[in-house]
Structure 1
Amino acid sequence: MQIDNEFTVGVPVERAWEVLTDLEGIAPCMPGAQLTGRDGDVYKGKVRVKVGPVVSEYAGTATFVEKDDAAHRAVISASGRDSRGAGNASAQIVAQLRPDGASTVVSVDTDLRISGKIAQLGRGMIKEVSTKLLGQFVECLEGKLGAAPEAPVETVAEPVAEAAAEPVAEPVAQPEPATPRPAAAEPEPLDIMGVAGGSIARRAVPLVLVLIVLVGLVLYLASR
């Protein structure tokens, strides 16, 4: 099943590139999703989902198989599995960033393969879910792109009084120790009822996992 999505962000490609390469910055834009690590060329992610009062967690992986830094193009192979055996989903994804005047166009073309109960959702339902999730991502991304980058902080040294007697050797500046980044906060679970709606929500969980984790990974990897 082929699913093609395209959206435009109203900033030059350089600014879009800066934001999209900030993995920790864009991760919160994917509802319920979190990148959990990397093993060689395999990127790992998880998503927390809520169906009614029940919160579950699912895992997915994406492998970077092709990259063209000059053309801002990436090809990703990704997969996700329902822990309850309801079915599997895999995808071959081509992501492309290209300048369009003062804006940037992002294209995500997905060849989705699903099996098991989730295959019963149908093409229309799958496209509806993917469109809603992508819309939420783009809205959040636009907010981050619209924020001005932080200005560098200029440090002014305090004047030092000259010694009255013998000259004093200038102290050697010591590099400040690197401050470790705080651990990423656990994401709020995605409300599947709000995305898929009604009785099909439970069957949509594995598909939503793939769409959330993979689209987030694709947009990140495509900007690498």
Structure 2
Amino acid sequence: MELTHEFTVPADVATTFAAFSRVESMAECFPGAEVTSVDGDAFTGSVKIKLGPIALTFNGEGEFTEKELAADGSSGRMVLSAKGKDRRGNGTAGAEAVVVLAPGGDAADGPTTDVEVTTDLQIGGKVASMGRGLVQEVSDKMLGRFTDCLEKKLT
């Protein structure tokens, strides 16, 4: 299942890239997420998600498989791969997220960055039976909270 989200943050591309590179800081903005360890570009942690009547806690691992900031700081791209299992055995999830950063316009407060996140999500077990609509709805809500938090961190 492919999910695409686009949003704008109130910071230049280089600042936004640096923020996205700090896994612990980004996890604080992702509802239900907790990072338990970081080793270079790899990390482990958990995320709690409620999909309809099912509450899930995925324990897993992830890593940045690509991080590239243009030499002049005008654009950036990163690829994050993650996988996990629900601790109660209700499902599995794997994802590859491609984050593309591009200069936005200049706002009254300064430069902005347009962010596009394309996620290839694979789900299995009970969670797979919940349907794409519910998964999309939950991911949209989570991303809304994430972007609100990220905006506060970058201003």
For 2:151 and 2:89, how far apart are their aligned partners in 1?
A: 37
2:67 and 2:79 in contact (8 A); partners too: yes
In the alignment, what sits opposite 2:9? 9
SS of aligned partner of 1:115: strand
In the alignment, what sits opposite 2:86? 82
- Aligned pair 1:121/2:141, yes or no? no
2:17 and 2:69 in contact (8 A); partners too: no
- Aligned pair 1:130/2:135, yes or no? no
In the alignment, what sits opposite 2:66? 66
For 1:49 and 1:128, how far apart are their aligned partners in 2?
A: 12
In the alignment, what sits opposite 1:212? none
Which structure has more relative contact order (CA 8 Å, sep 6+)? It is 1
SS of aligned partner of 2:148: helix
What does the per-residue CA deviation read over 1:65-121, in whole Å, with 9 as the maximum and x for residues that have no partner?
A: 223232421122211101222121111211111111321011110111111111111
For 2:79 and 2:24, how far apart are their aligned partners in 1?
A: 21
For 1:112 and 1:21, how far apart are their aligned partners in 2?
A: 21
Q: CA deviation at 1:46?
A: 1.9
2:11 and 2:112 in contact (8 A); partners too: yes
* % same residue: 45
SS of aligned partner of 2:153: helix
> Which of 103, 109, 127 pairs up with 1:99?
103
CA 25–115 in structure 1, closer or farther in 2 if over 3 Å, else same: closer
Larger % of strand: which?
Answer: 2
In the alignment of these two chains, the number of paired residues is 143
Instruction: Give the TM-score taking structure 2 as reference length.
Output: 0.77
- Aligned pair 1:44/2:44, yes or no? yes
In the alignment, what sits opposite 1:196? none
